[in-house]
Structure 1
């Protein structure tokens, strides 16, 4: 988008495998139709078929990403200009992640996403873009060498989590906040195995963390140890090092827990 919030024209509007441009772009997205509250009961007859399309998005996503190996999801604004320092830092983070042995997963769009994909591609790594159907043209950026387009946000968000061993979150807007807090919630509630989560940009994220440490923590909405889930830095090297080191610690913990569970099962079986 431009600074005044007007959607910018991109390289094509993706609707699943279909590419649309200009007057062919629909006025509403698939998600809007899914979540629409109709007054009639016609949806009872159409929604079961819609489930098949949803299922196909999961199947295609799982199939495309199953063999990418260790990966890190990088989130951030689509509005960040290539001349902004955040773009340069995101590009460096993408490069460093590949050099550390990771594929890079982004939303596939412009701005921070494009920068991270660019850094990953130029470093010779796997540069993944998970595109989404939006009510304006955007398209997957040219630095993606493995791209998937989704109709449904929830299917796309599952891929961000399932195939990532860590998250690095750069400055962004509501979409970035949504991705950040979903990741934190999944770890906090143990719906997923814990993974490292980095907030990049102390000047941007500092105020949010101050609010969490005071208003949220003081009211007992979270526990003090929940704050340990987030690591904040302004250094691309430190961001990637935290992912690597914290990831190794968590992997060791998982192996120890698995060994303990196996020993307990063996003892129970022999009793």
Structure 2
């Protein structure tokens, strides 16, 4: 299964560590991580997935694949700016939001509109998002709530 992980591009150390753990757990269960491919939560989740020999897809806002963080195994340049948010969520079978601001909020809305199960870890409190308290709970939720 592909899991879209969405979240802040600038995060504190505890959030980075949670996202990294999430990436490890997803990879250990054979899931591919899909994200925006840049910094913060995106880098951390890719780093964790790569540490567990997992695959990561980074859907980038710009025109250059080399803008991806070093843990992305498949960078996809779009040249779409923030409009690439739709591609990030639509290329997953479920979504997990960690932290985040307005970009994350837009991705949550896109995921919910697409009918994807969405787990939220310290993120926006929105109807339809399953609030979880750990990376383990997030992985468990999306694994059991497949569409």
Aligned residues: 145
Indicate the structure with greater strand content: 2
Q: 2:109 aligns with which of 160, 181, 186?
A: 181
Structure 2 residue ranges without an equivalent (≥5): none
Aligned-partner Cα distance in 2 for 1:104–1:245: 17
Q: Bigger radius of gyration, 1 or 2? A: 1
Aligned-partner Cα distance in 1 for 2:26–2:111: 19
Aligned to 1:144: 72
Identify the structure with bigger relative contact order (alpha carbons < 8 Å, sequence gap 6+).
Answer: 2
Aligned to 2:142: 243
1:1-271 counterparts in 2 under 5 A?
70-81=1-12, 84-133=13-62, 139-153=67-81, 156-187=84-115, 195-201=116-122, 204-205=123-124, 208-209=125-126, 227=127, 229-247=128-146, 250=147
Indicate the structure with greater helix content: 1
Asked if the contact 1:100/1:244 (under 8 Å) is kept, the reply is no
Asked if the contact 1:76/1:176 (under 8 Å) is kept, the reply is yes
Aligned-partner Cα distance in 2 for 1:140–1:154: 15
The Cα offsets for residues 71-116 of structure 1, whole Å up to 9 and x where unpaired, read as: 10000111114xx101000001011111112100110111111000
For normalisation by structure 1, the TM-score amounts to 0.50
Structure 1 residue ranges without an equivalent (≥5): 1-69, 188-194, 210-226, 251-271
SS at match of 2:114: helix
The list of structure 1 runs, each at least 4 consecutive aligned residues, that deviate by more than 3 angstroms after superposition, is none
